[in-house]
Amino acid sequence: MSNSTNSTISHLECTSCNKIFPKEQLLNLCTDCSLPIFARYDLDKAKYEIDKDQLVQRESTMWRYKELMPIENEENIVTLGEGWTPLVHAQRLGASLGFSNLLLKDESLNPTGSFKARGMSAAISQAKEKGVKKVAIPTAGNAGGATAAYAAKAGMEAHIFMPSDTPIAFQVECEQNGAQVEKIDGLISDCGKIVAERKDAEGWFDISTLKEPYRVEGKKTLGYELAEQLNWNLPDVIIYPTGGGTGIIGMWKAFQEMEDMGWIGSKRPRMISVQAEGCAPIVRAFNSGLNNAPTFKNAETVASGLRVPSAIGDFLILQSIRESNGYAIAVSDKALLEGVQLLGKMEGIFAAPEAGATVAALSGLVESQHINQNEKIVLFITGGGAKYIDVFI
Ligand SMILES: *Cc1c(COP(=O)(O)O)cnc(C)c1O
C-alpha cells in the first residue's frame, strides 16, 4: 500500500437511522430510510497519527487533511488545486458597517470559481475509486461547472441538468469542459427528478447534493481550514448562504471531528443561515420550530444557488443552527445585489449573488441583536460573480 493516503475512514453511517454500511459500498441514500449517509473515521487513530501543528508543512489544498478524507489510494485523488483559500480581514467593509472583526473566507478563488470545487473533488475522487464511469447531477449552476471540470480531469462522462434560466455562462462552461448539458423548464428539484428517473437505465451515478456521502466530505474541509487559519480558535459567528446546505452541514461535522481529536474545544460558532426571500424554506422552518423544511412554493431568486425549494438535508441544517444557538434570516434580491456591490467596492472581491446575501444580512442581524459588531464574524464568500453577468446587467 505504498500509494495509501492513510485515510482513517472506517465505515458509512445513516445520519438518521444510524444504519451502518461498509466503507467500500457505493451508495446514494440509506437503503432503509432514504436519508443522507455520512462517512465515519477512526478518529482515535487519526488523533494519534496527525500532529495538527505539522499541517502547516503540507500542500496548500484541501487534501492537506487527507487522513480525514474517504479516498484510500493517492492515485484516485482528482484535484485541480481546490481549497486552502484566503481568510481575509474585511477592514474597509467592516469599518463601513461598524464591525471590528469581520472576516471573509474567499471561496471564489477555487477552481471553477466556487466552493463547489471542494465537494466535487471529493465526490469524483471517490467515484473514481469505486469504478464509476458516468456521473449525473441536477444543478443551479456552480455544481454543474465543478462536475464538468472534475469529471473531465477524471476521464468520466458527466450528464448535467440545469433549469433553462440558469445564467448562460454555466452552460457554456459545462459544454466547453466536455459535459452533456440538458436545460429543463423547471427548478433544480425538477432536474433532480429527471436524474433519479433515468440514472439506472443510463448507468449514471447520481451525485446530487447529499444524495451521495462524499461531497459533504469535501465541504467539511471549510471547517478544518477555518480552524487552522485561526490557529485552532473558531470564530464567534459563521454567516453562510444556504441552498442545499452541504457547506453548513459539512462544517458542523468537521467541528465535531476536530473536537473528538482534541484539536478544538466544545465551543462552537453560532451558525447563521442566510437565504433569499424568494426561496427561504430553512428560514421558515426555523421560525416555525420545525425539524424539517416544507417545500417552498414558487421559488424565485437571482441567487440561483439559493433557489433550492426543498433540501434533503434540511433536518441536518436546522440541527446545526439550533445546536449552535444560531439563526436563520432572509434578504431580498435587491439587498443581496447591493451586498455584492458593497463587497466589491470595499474589498475588491467580485462575488456571486449568493455571497452578497451574507453582506446584506449583517444590518438586520445587528438590529435583531443576533450578532454584535465586536464579535469575530466570518462571511462565506461561496463563489465569484463573473458567471452571473446576466444577473448584474
Ligand atoms: C451552491 C451554492 C451555494 C449554496 O450552498 P449549499 O452548501 O448547497 O447550501 C451558495 N453559494 C454559491 C455560490 C453556490 O454555488
Tell me the CA–centroid distance for residue 241 and ligand 1, in Å: 7
Contact 16, 27 (CB under 8 A): no
The whole-number pLDDT of residue 2 equals 60
Domain contains 155: no
Angle at CA 160, nearest 5°, toward 153 and 37? 80
* Structural domain boundaries enclosing 308: 87-114+214-392
Is a pLDDT exceeding 70 seen at residue 179? yes
Pocket test for ligand 1, best of 106, 107, 142, 316 (most atoms within 8 A of CB): 142
The string over 312-345, giving b where at least 16 C-beta atoms fall within 10 Å of a residue's C-beta and e elsewhere, is bbbbbbbbbbeebebbbbbbebebbbebbebbee
CA distances from 230 to 145, 213, 363, 380 (A): 30, 28, 25, 15
Angle at CA 313, nearest 5°, toward 151 and 14? 85
Domain contains 376: yes
Average pLDDT of the chain, as a whole number: 97
Alpha carbon nearest to ligand 1 atom 13, residue: 383
User: Locate cell 433536518: which residue?
Assistant: 315
User: Locate cell 447529499: which residue?
Assistant: 210
Ramachandran quadrant class, 288 (left: phi over 0; alpha: psi -120 to 50; beta: rest): alpha
The pLDDT tens digits for 1-41 are 569 999 999 999 999 999 999 999 999 999 999 999 999 99
Q: What is the CATH number of the domain that holds 103?
A: 3.40.50.1100
Q: How far apart, in whole angstroms, are the C-alpha atoms of residue 67 and residue 1?
A: 14
- Residues 6 or more apart whose CB falls under 8 angstroms from that of 225 comprise 62, 83, 84, 85, 87, 105
Tell me the CA–centroid distance for residue 248 and ligand 1, in Å: 10
The whole-number pLDDT of residue 140 equals 86
Query: Residues lining ligand 1, judged by CB closer than 6 Å?
Result: 114, 116, 142-143, 209, 241-247, 305, 352, 354, 382-383
Which atom of ligand 1 is least distant from the CA of 354?
A: 11
Domain contains 42: no
Domain contains 133: no
Pocket test for ligand 1, best of 82, 354, 379 (most atoms within 8 A of CB): 354
Q: How far apart, in whole angstroms, are the C-alpha atoms of residue 373 and residue 370?
A: 10
Q: How many helices (H) and strands (E) does the chain have?
A: 13, 13
The whole-number pLDDT of residue 187 equals 87
Q: How far apart, in whole angstroms, are the C-alpha atoms of residue 119 and residue 249?
A: 12
Kindly state the percentage of the chain with pLDDT values over 90. Answer: 97
Domain contains 187: no
Tell me the CA–centroid distance for residue 114 and ligand 1, in Å: 8
Domain contains 358: yes
Angle at CA 274, nearest 5°, toward 272 and 278? 155
- DSSP annotation of 263 reads S
User: 174 by DSSP, 3-state: which?
Assistant: helix
- Residues 6 or more apart whose CB falls under 8 angstroms from that of 139 comprise 145, 147, 160, 161, 162, 166, 170, 188, 191
Domain contains 107: yes
Tell me the CA–centroid distance for residue 243 and ligand 1, in Å: 5
User: How many structural domains comprise the chain?
Assistant: 1
Alpha carbon nearest to ligand 1 atom 6, residue: 245
Q: How far apart, in whole angstroms, are the C-alpha atoms of residue 336 and residue 143?
A: 21
Confidence of residue 157 (pLDDT cuts 50, 70, 90): very high
- DSSP annotation of 18 reads -
Domain contains 69: no
The pLDDT tens digits for 316-355 are 999 999 999 999 999 999 999 999 999 999 999 999 999 9
Is a pLDDT exceeding 60 seen at residue 151? yes
Alpha carbon nearest to ligand 1 atom 1, residue: 305
Contact 77, 5 (CB under 8 A): yes
